[in-house]
Homo-oligomer: A and B are copies of this chain.
Amino acid sequence: MDETATATAAMAVGQLRNFAKAGRKIAGAGMNYKALLPILKVDAPKEPVIFLKPSTSYITEGQRIVIPKGFAVNEEIELGVVIGKGGKNIEVGAAMDHVGGYCVALDMTATSELTTARSAGLPWCIGKGFDTACPVSRFIEKSEITDPHKVQLWCTVNGQPKQKGNTDDLIFDVPQLISFVSRYMTLEPNDLILTGSPPGMGPVHPGDTIEGGIEGLLSVKFAVTSE
């Protein structure tokens, strides 16, 4: 483990602005909106479903989402939580102290690869981790979001409404996700937790423009291209 793992002091917000360059861990929560369960016809997971994306999957505004040859890819709009203070076995009650800020993220997901992998019991790695699979907004200061469980997310593709959801619908909330992940994997400053995506995600194609954001706060736009 890196020495940052044991750092207990919160990192200065100025440094967290570069989370997409400095961050080493992206832990995403799957199936984390209640409204998704009847659509997917699944029961609520008993504990958070956590997958990893590599830091090489980050892109920021101005960069394009590149769909690998032969892949079918969905967009998933999500609230991202940027860790400010690292830790291990973080208690739910203390978890918000570890939040350094937020971002809006697109958890780009290769459904083609994920469907095959899931039915064979194989890793989600390629389906979630391909280059450009983690477009993120600018860093959002912690103070810009009064309550992370009252965040209205939206996403359009080519101007057509696709996703809408409020983080009040999360199955596992932000402190529960932080606590669960840190139970197994030490969190470090600049790590990102993706909190899951509300219903409406669907396939995107080269030439599309994905726009999404948090109502009343900010929006991001990413163009989709082919390899």
Distance between Cα atoms of A209 and B12 in the complex (Å): 41
Chain B residues whose CB sits within 8 angstroms of the CB of A128 once the complex forms: 123
Distance between Cα atoms of A50 and B129 in the complex (Å): 11
Q: Which of A21-29, A73-81, A152-160 contacts B (4 or more CB under 8 A)?
A: A21-29
With both chains docked as a complex, state the minimum distance between the C-beta of A133 and any C-beta of chain B, in angstroms: 9
One of B25, B54, B119 near A185 (C-beta < 8 A): B54
- From A58, A68, A119, A129, residue with most partner B Cβ within 10 Å: A129
With both chains docked as a complex, state the minimum distance between the C-beta of A63 and any C-beta of chain B, in angstroms: 8
Chain B residues whose CB sits within 8 angstroms of the CB of A10 once the complex forms: none
> Which residue of chain B lies nearest to A114 when distances are taken between CB atoms in the complex?
B121
A5 within 8 A of B: yes
With both chains docked as a complex, state the minimum distance between the C-beta of A1 and any C-beta of chain B, in angstroms: 5
What does the 1/0 interface line of A126-140 toward B look like (CB < 8 Å)? Answer: 101111100000000
Q: Is the CB of B52 within 8 A of A52?
A: yes
Chain B residues whose CB sits within 8 angstroms of the CB of A122 once the complex forms: 30, 49, 118
Chain B residues whose CB sits within 8 angstroms of the CB of A54 once the complex forms: 24-25, 27, 52, 185
Please list the residues of chain A having a beta carbon within 8 angstroms of any beta carbon in chain B: 1-3, 5, 21, 24-25, 27, 30, 49-52, 54-59, 68, 88, 117-119, 121-126, 128-132, 183-188
- 10 A-B pairs whose Cβ atoms sit less than 8 Å apart in the complex: A24-B56, A25-B56, A27-B54, A30-B122, A52-B52, A52-B123, A52-B125, A52-B129, A57-B185, A126-B185
